[in-house]
């Protein structure tokens, strides 16, 4: 099926674009009242993730309502540890919770490298539903968590401030850590390939906890696995978003990915210098700028577009949009990008 709007993919590949494409991390979600209506009809976040027709519906909402240039499949990075053997629950106001964790060699028996179509078929089915309903209007982005971030949740069993237990394991059990990271990596490659087979036009890797590791540790336990995934996924453009990993830009430069997501700390000029001219940069407005008044938001968006320039840029925030942001502000951000003339 031909895409009517392929700005995102052309920007990712470094081809000429009429204007900078724009989408937002977490655009499918609580910022939209249309999402909240569906969410209130169903018992729990996970039920929504696991019901392909509804997941597809909320995936498409921001395309209809906000006019973004891409849909990102509504899902969660934690479906991967679950498919590998560690079920999770989403506790209201607390976040994710795993009853079982990986702390020792003996815990490895809980883990497998699953067949993604068998264990994560609800995600690939949601992608197929989305593709069908979108009918080529915009590309669909698939995604997965980066191995280090998934490993952190598997070890900690929840979000924490310091992830000290997961970081401790890298020092006390490096062999076991690599074994688990290896299994996550294999699962992730198969999972992304299944998403692509189902129709994902691009995929993004989220390394949400990249910023907690010292540079040497991240090289050893973080970026090496991202490199392997990037090398294996050649079917569609890959985006690597390693939040907080300003110290790892040299490593990221070596990854075979088309696009690099930048958090709101990274200066475009610094990122461009470190990453070279063969990668597209994605980002990176401070998500809190969407709380500002319209004029300040428009000015900041213009400034961002000017600094990144007209080529090899995909406009986005530097992190997921915060759930209490006014949808009108998000729309203003999107429209400002779309109207901008370089």
Please give the positions annotated as active site. 26, 30, 39, 76, 153
**Is residue 241 a contact residue for its own copies (CB under 8 A)?**
no
Rg of the chain (C-alpha set)? 19
Pick from 12, 49, 129, 170 the residue near its own copies by CB under 8 A: 170
Nearer to its own copies, 216 or 278 (CB): 216
51 burial class (0-12, 13-18, 19+ CB within 10 angstroms)? Answer: middle
Do 46 and 79 meet the contact criterion of CB atoms below 8 Å apart?
no
Pick from 292, 298, 327, 332 the residue near its own copies by CB under 8 A: 292
Which of 44, 75, 32 has the alpha carbon at shortest distance from 198?
A: 75
Q: What share of the chain is helix, strand, coil (3-state, %, to 5)?
A: 55, 15, 35
Q: Which stretch binds its own copies (CB under 8 A): 8-16, 102-110, 221-229, 243-251?
A: 243-251
Nearer to its own copies, 109 or 161 (CB): 161
Binding to its own copies, residues 92-111 (CB under 8 A)? none
Binding to its own copies, residues 205-234 (CB under 8 A)? 211, 214-215, 217
User: What are residue 281's DSSP bridge partners?
Assistant: 260, 313
User: What are residue 207's DSSP bridge partners?
Assistant: 242
User: What are residue 336's DSSP bridge partners?
Assistant: none
Binding to its own copies, residues 295-324 (CB under 8 A)? 296, 318-319, 322, 324
Pick from 224, 247, 249, 302 the residue near its own copies by CB under 8 A: 247
Segment holding 215, helix H or strand E: helix 215-218
CA dihedral 112, 210, 258, 49 (to 10 degrees): 50
Contact footprint for its own copies (CB under 8 A): 159, 161-162, 164, 167-168, 170-172, 211, 214-215, 217, 244, 246-247, 264-265, 267, 286-289, 291-293, 296, 318-319, 322, 324
């Amino acid at each position: 099926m031909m895409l009517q709007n392929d700005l995102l993919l052309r920007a990712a590949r470094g081809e000429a674009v009429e204007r900078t494409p724009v989408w937002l991390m977490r655009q499918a979600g609580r910022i939209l009242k249309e999402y909240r209506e569906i969410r209130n009809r169903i018992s729990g976040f996970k039920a929504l993730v696991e019901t392909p027709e509804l997941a597809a519906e909320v995936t498409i909402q921001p395309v209809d309502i906000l006019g973004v240039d891409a849909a990102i499949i509504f899902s969660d990075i934690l479906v991967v540890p679950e498919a590998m053997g560690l079920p999770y629950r989403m506790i209201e106001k607390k976040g994710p919770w795993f009853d079982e964790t990986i702390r020792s060699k003996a815990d490895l028996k809980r883990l497998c490298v699953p067949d993604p179509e068998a264990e994560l078929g609800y995600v690939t089915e949601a992608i197929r539903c989305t593709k069908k309903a979108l009918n080529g209007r915009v590309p669909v982005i698939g995604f997965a968590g980066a191995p280090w971030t998934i490993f952190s949740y598997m070890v900690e069993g929840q979000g924490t401030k310091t992830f000290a237990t997961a970081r401790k394991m890298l020092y006390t059990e490096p062999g076991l850590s690599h074994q688990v990271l290896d299994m996550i990596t294999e699962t992730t490659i198969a999972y992304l390939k299944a998403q692509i087979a189902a129709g994902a036009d691009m995929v993004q890797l989220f390394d949400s906890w990249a910023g907690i590791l010292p540079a040497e540790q991240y090289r050893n336990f973080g970026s090496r696995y991202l490199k392997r995934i990037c090398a294996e996924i050649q079917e569609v453009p890959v985006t690597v978003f390693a939040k907080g990993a300003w110290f790892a830009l040299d490593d990221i430069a070596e990854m075979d990915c088309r696009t690099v997501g930048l958090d709101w700390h990274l200066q475009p000029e610094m990122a461009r210098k470190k990453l070279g001219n063969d990668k597209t940069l994605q980002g990176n407005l401070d998500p809190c700028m969407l709380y500002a008044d319209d004029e300040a938001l428009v000015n900041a968006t213009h400034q961002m577009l000017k600094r990144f320039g007209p080529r090899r840029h995909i406009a986005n925030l530097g992190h997921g949009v915060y759930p209490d942001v006014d949808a009108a502000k998000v729309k203003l951000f999107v429209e400002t990008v779309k109207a901008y003339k370089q």
